[in-house]
């Protein structure tokens, strides 16, 4: 049946034709059935990504390695201590791992 992009293009073209005729078609958020070319033919469902919520967290920088460290409000001390414990144990007087 050709390469994967051709398979998806043909599938989408068929879906738009069905929609124009008033037929079913797939949900926008549902998986797209795609027949994979090859020796063993099978149907594979491509997952259409669903929207996600992105939370913007405040950030600070490590004074040693200058990496950005994100934290939830009220937990800066715990997050920085954990970063220093993992990345810079010598700065806390801990033995290196």
Q: In 3D, which of 30, 27, 24 has the Cα closest to residue 48?
A: 30
pLDDT tens sequence across 62-95: 999 999 999 999 999 999 999 999 999 999 887 7
CA separation (Å) from 66 to 32, 61, 73, 77, 84? 44, 5, 20, 16, 12
Task: Report pTM.
Answer: 0.45
The residue with greater pLDDT, 57 or 27, is 57
How many Cβ atoms from other residues are within 10 Å of residue 28's Cβ? Answer: 6
């Amino acid at each position: 049946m050709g390469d994967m992009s051709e398979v998806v293009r043909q599938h989408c073209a068929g879906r738009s034709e069905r929609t124009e005729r008033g037929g079913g078609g797939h949900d926008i958020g549902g998986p797209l059935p795609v027949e994979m070319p090859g020796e063993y033919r099978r149907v594979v469902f491509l997952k259409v990504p669903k929207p996600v919520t992105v939370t913007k967290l405040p950030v600070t920088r490590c004074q040693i390695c200058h990496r950005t460290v994100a934290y939830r409000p009220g937990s800066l001390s715990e997050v920085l201590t954990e970063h220093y414990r993992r990345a810079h144990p010598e700065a806390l007087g801990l033995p290196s791992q």
